Amino acid sequence: MILSTTTTIEGATITSYQGVVTAEVVYGTNALRDFFAGIRDMIGGRTASYERIFEKGHQEALRELESNAKKRGADAVIGISMDTGTINIDDKGVLLLITATGTAVKLG
């Protein structure tokens, strides 16, 4: 399965469009990780624990996107877009949201 952010696949012809596919990954936050991220915010620098969460989430979203495309009989997903965000659940917590969308296609 080819996954691409472009709208074409070099050297291949798109023979049919199988529709838009999506994938969502949601992670709960962790009090300890939030504490250390808060310290990092005060002293500056990158927050490696959250970077790892987002990296893992992107990979999981791409795997789910691929799985959803295979269910439609696709050979590739083109025009992939990924977005991140948060969902506030109360005054103490948020959920991290990673969304991937693309167009499932058959190649000839």
pLDDT in tens, 79-105: 999 999 888 777 667 788 999 999 999
Please state the domain extents for the chain. Answer: 2-107
Lowest-confidence region among 2-6, 32-36, 61-65: 32-36
Residue 25 CA to residue 13 CA, distance in Å, equals 31
> Do 21 and 101 touch, CB atoms closer than 8 A?
yes
Under DSSP, is residue 38 helix (H, G, I), strand (E, B) or coil?
helix
Does the reported pTM lie above 0.85?
Answer: no
In whole angstroms, what is the distance from residue 20 CA to residue 18 CA?
7
Q: Which CATH superfamily is domain 2-107 in?
A: Hypothetical protein apc22750. Chain B (3.30.110.70)
